[in-house]
Chain A
């Protein structure tokens, strides 16, 4: 941790060890163990920094136990960005040991729980398809378990056939478009849930907006979150390059994680170029409400719908407000009800739900409880990863609550 940059070092110093983060950390809530809460990690980082500790397996394990949900940072009275510090620590670990936590996790945890790999399998599948897996060097790990892989593959009934971006045209336009946007589809929409993509195209067409879908890769969040900044930067820079080719009014996202990674590109990639995009990046829900001020004639269906705040969206501008506003515009088709602790992390956190399957499910089960208590028949969200996590957890609990992306409901109302 010797070369920790000054800003991060200073924010370490700000922590007063008040313990306040205990009340907000979903992992602490489930485990009750201090190493897993921000305060503990900060003490460990200080020890790393001063050379009293050096990276070892135990420490790597501890630092893998974080959802990067930011609940601690959001509520810290001293503004300690513990989530960012954890990411920096993972970067440092990879730089020092060259060993992605992911690999270890896959070894240690995944193999143990491979009986219940439905969701995890999907994500692994994603890793494969996006080529990320090669970059993350987990292919070696996967090769070690050909039988498991076969099992996992069989658990993937809902994977879409082919890539959404290959099926739809590069440009979808209308006569005299009022605006022009570029759509970053994210990996999940591209490979698993095409309906989200089709919904967006349908809505934007109805609203008279031209959409282009530039060539793109993964936003890089799985790599950054695992401390593999080399891969993350590579992906980020490619995306920036492709999106710079054609000028648009906005770049829209259906995935909160992709959006927040793009918002962080200037810092993560240390790139001036990325800064130029900052004002154009927008969650699709916010775009529909704030920019298009969408009005929807809804049939009367009257289904109760609730909304789950993705961690990566709730901290962006109007990230909590816009989706709820959009939902309320779907009345009387849908009746929006708020669930308890709507902004609590669902436990998906990228690959966390593979690497720490059981713990992740425990976190998700709190969410399932809130959803059930809300009485909603549909739970919506604005992040495909959260949606996969929620579907999986709801299914495990034998609930028939349906999970939808908000735009799917909007598109449905546009008959």
Chain B
């Protein structure tokens, strides 16, 4: 389909000429996200407020063009990719933090606010918004809600959905709706807030977000533990949890990941170690001390080589830098990154790690493993070259097996990146025909013209 000139004109009237991009050269810059998927939109539009969003969606229903919501475009499942048609609706201009309320312990903000910026503003007031995707310096809160983003701290603090209290949403037909509210308890009607959180831009456009906040933890300690054997690192993870220690984060990096990061950042990680764990505990002073001692003991019992412990913010940031860099740094191996986030119950981490290694050697592929080991959310990434057809076929087979393994261990296809385009073919494995039909029924009911982010999820 092609946008009529007249339609373009109407969109320009809604948002103003400066906020519409029509040139191919500019539109190409909205054809990608953090995956290797591509689709050039016919128009890129930057609305300023809820009203403008609603008007565009209404127009879309009238003229029947698809609308692809987009935040910062850091998604890892192809969720914001325009399917070579329609409008890319970029929400980054709507970036105001409207309220941070210390009494009600909540904040109200627009979807374009950058997560890391929000974290900082909240912490200035002694409050805390835990979800911390590794992309936090760039990704938007709207994108986080739409993907139900997680992050290292999810192990202790949960994921985005555990903090969303209420939303303002433009429905797929262009109406403005409010869900939830400003209270932690709320059972009035279906839980639409939860339904929309993680709906990947297919059920509504999020235009305002109310999130719950916590008090900022008093003390934080970070430990970087080096292991000669990957298996020992994995079993340390389960042992720590079994011993009743709940670290805020428990991150794992395998040898390939270590090497890639070291290549660039020179943080002094040992290149011959098979794995490192990055463990952070927070809370009251005594608790933190106790926890760190237990962790040290457990890791030593599991034959770790060395432990660094940092308490100053600066030192901790240095340790974290390595972890945050991994996801991007591994493309040094090969240019195309197929980033999976299959997740298993936490006790199955050692088994999953073992299977991933087998899959890597079976198909002769680079599959660095890193991720949120504490909550079972590993990030096996397959590195390949998309121009190499034969290799890509092997990748396909490996992906299939990874998903099989995760489901066999009673895990899930995706812990936090969403289904988007990339995992569509596998959805049925997990949900079955009945499950998928249920999703479809919901989509059809609220979006009869299939306007919002068509071609995604199922």
Question: B-facing mask of A33-77, CB < 8 A → 1, else 0?
Answer: 111000110011001000001001011001000000000000011
A271 at the interface (CB under 8 A from B): no
Q: A20-B138, A23-B138 are in contact. Are A14 and B26 (CB under 8 A)?
A: no
Looking at the assembled complex, report how far the CB atom of B17 sits from the nearest CB atom of chain A, in whole angstroms. Answer: 14
We find that the number of chain B residues with CB closer than 8 angstroms to chain A is 38
Assess whether A150 is interfacial by the CB under 8 Å rule.
no
Residues of A within 8 A of B137 (CB): 20, 22-23
A5-37 contact mask (Cβ, 8 Å, vs B): 1 or 0: 000000001111111101100000000111100
Q: Contacts A16-B331, A32-B92, A77-B325 hold; do A22 and B72 have CB atoms under 8 A apart?
A: yes
Chain A CB within 8 A of B135 CB: yes
Q: Which of B30-38, B179-187, B291-299 contacts A (4 or more CB under 8 A)?
A: B30-38
* Inter-chain contact B25/A35, CB cutoff 8 Å: yes
Q: In the docked arrangement, what's the CA distance between A43 and B40, Å? A: 12
Known: A19-B73, A78-B328. 16 other contacts (CB 8 A): A14-B335, A16-B331, A17-B34, A18-B138, A19-B34, A19-B74, A22-B72, A22-B138, A23-B116, A32-B92, A35-B25, A43-B28, A43-B29, A44-B29, A53-B24, A77-B329
B328 partner, pick from A20, A40, A62, beta carbons under 8 A: A20
Q: Which residues of B contact A15 (CB under 8 A)?
A: 331
Q: Does B332 lie within 8 Å of A14, measured CB to CB?
A: yes
* Nearest 9 interchain pairs by C-beta: A40-B29, A77-B328, A23-B137, A34-B29, A18-B328, A16-B331, A77-B325, A35-B29, A13-B335
A10 to B116, CA, bound (A): 31
**Bound-complex Cα distance A402 to B374 (A):** 54
Cβ-defined contact, A77 with B264, below 8 A = yes
- Residues facing A in B6-32 (CB within 8 A) are 21, 23-26, 28-32
A302 contacts chain B at the CB level, 8 A cutoff: no
User: B93: CB under 8 A from chain A?
Assistant: yes
A225 to chain B, nearest CB (A): 21
Residue of B nearest to A21 (CB): B138
Bound Cα distance A53, B23 (Å): 12
Tell which of A14, A17, A58 touches B25, judged by Cβ atoms closer than 8 Å: A58
Does B327 touch A at the CB level, under 8 Å? Answer: yes
* Residues of chain A with a CB closer than 8 A to B138's CB: 18-20, 22-23
Chain B contacts with A in 124-149, Cβ cutoff 8 A: 135, 137-139
Nearest CB of A to B78, in Å: 11
Q: How far, in angstroms, from A17 to B73 measured CA to CA in the complex?
A: 9
Decide: A43 and B32 in contact? CB cutoff 8 A.
Answer: yes
B337 touches A (CB below 8 Å): yes
Report B28 CB to chain A, min CB distance, Å.
6
Most chain A CB within a 10 A radius of its CB, from B29, B33, B139, B261? B29
Q: Is A79 an interface residue (CB 8 A)?
A: yes
**Is there contact, CB below 8 Å, between B28 and A16?**
no
Q: In the bound complex, how far is the Cα of B265 from the Cα of A76, in angstroms?
A: 10
Set of chain B residues within 8 Å of A32, measured between Cβ atoms? 46, 92-93
Q: Which A residues are closer than 8 A to B by beta carbons?
A: 13-20, 22-23, 32-35, 39-40, 43-44, 47, 53, 56, 58-59, 62, 76-79
B245-262 interface with A by 8 A CB criterion: 261
Residues of A within 8 Å of B31, CB to CB, are 43
A198 to chain B, nearest CB (A): 41
Q: How far is the CB of B82 from chain A (nearest CB, A)?
A: 13
Q: Mark B323-363, 1 if CB is under 8 A from A, else 0.
A: 01101110110010100000000000000000000000000
How far apart sit A56 and B265, CA to CA, in the bound complex (Å)?
A: 38
Say whether, besides A35-B29, A62-B26, A77-B264, A18 and B335 are in contact (CB < 8 Å): no
Residues of A within 8 Å of B331, CB to CB, are 14-16, 78
Which of B34, B114, B261 is most buried by chain A, counting CB atoms within 10 A of its CB?
Answer: B34
- Contact sample, A vs B, 15 pairs, CB 8 Å cutoff: A13-B335, A14-B331, A16-B34, A17-B33, A19-B33, A20-B135, A20-B138, A22-B72, A32-B93, A35-B26, A43-B31, A77-B324, A77-B328, A78-B264, A78-B328
Please report the C-alpha to C-alpha distance between residue A169 and residue B229 in the assembled complex, in whole angstroms.
68
Interface residues of B (CB under 8 A from A): 21, 23-26, 28-36, 46, 72-74, 92-93, 114, 116, 135, 137-139, 261, 264-265, 324-325, 327-329, 331-332, 335, 337
Complex CA distance for A59 and B28, rounded to whole angstroms? 11
Question: In the assembled complex, which residues on chain A have CB atoms less than 8 Å from the CB atom of B261?
Answer: 77
Residues of A within 8 A of B337 (CB): 16
List of B residues within 8 angstroms of A58 by Cβ? 23, 25-26
Question: Which partner residue on chain B sits nearest A16 by CB separation?
Answer: B331
Residue of A nearest to B23 (CB): A58
Chain A residue contacts of B135, Cβ below 8 A: 18-20
| Chain B min CB distance to A13 (Å) | 4
Cβ-defined contact, B25 with A53, below 8 A = yes
List of A residues within 8 angstroms of B28 by Cβ: 40, 43-44, 47, 53
Provide the residues of chain A in CB contact with B73, threshold 8 Å: 19, 34
| CB atoms of A18 and B327 under 8 A apart | yes
Q: What are the residues of chain B within 8 A of A53 when measuring CB–CB?
A: 24-25, 28
In the bound assembly, the distance between CA atoms of A350 and B224 in angstroms comes to: 44
Residues in chain B near residue A76, CB distance under 8 A: 328
Chain B residues near A56 (CB-CB < 8 A): 25
* A36 to chain B: closest residue by CB: B29
In the bound complex, how far is the Cα of B35 from the Cα of A23, in angstroms? 19
A18-B74 in contact (CB<8A): yes
Knowing A22-B72, A34-B73, A78-B264, the reply to whether A16 touches B29 (Cβ < 8 A) is no
Instruction: Kindly list chain B residues whose C-beta atoms are within 8 Å of the C-beta of A23.
Output: 114, 116, 137-138
Residues in B neighbouring A59, C-beta threshold 8 A:
25
For B329, list chain A residues within 8 Å (CB): 77-78
Distance to closest chain A CB from B293 (angstroms): 33
Within 8 Å CB of A62, what residues of B? 25-26
**How many Å from the CB of A30 to the closest CB on chain B?**
13
Which residues of B lie under 8 Å from residue A22 when comparing CB positions?
72, 137-138
- Name the B residues within 8 Å of A18 (CB-CB): 34, 74, 135, 138, 327-328
Q: Nearest Cβ in chain B — how far from A340, in angstroms?
A: 13
The answer for the CA separation of A76 and B335 in the assembled complex, in Å, is 15
Residues on the A chain within 8 Å of B36, using CB: 17
Question: Which residues on A sit within 8 Å (CB–CB) of B327?
Answer: 16, 18, 77
Q: Give the CA-CA distance A79 to B265 in the complex, in Å.
A: 9
Q: How far apart sit A129 and B365, CA to CA, in the bound complex (Å)? A: 60
Contact pick for B332, options A33, A35, A40, A78, CB 8 Å: A78
Question: How close is A216's CB to chain B, nearest CB, in angstroms?
Answer: 37
User: Can you name the residue of chain B whose Cβ is closest to the Cβ of A63?
Assistant: B25
Chain A residues in 8 Å Cβ range of B34: 16-19
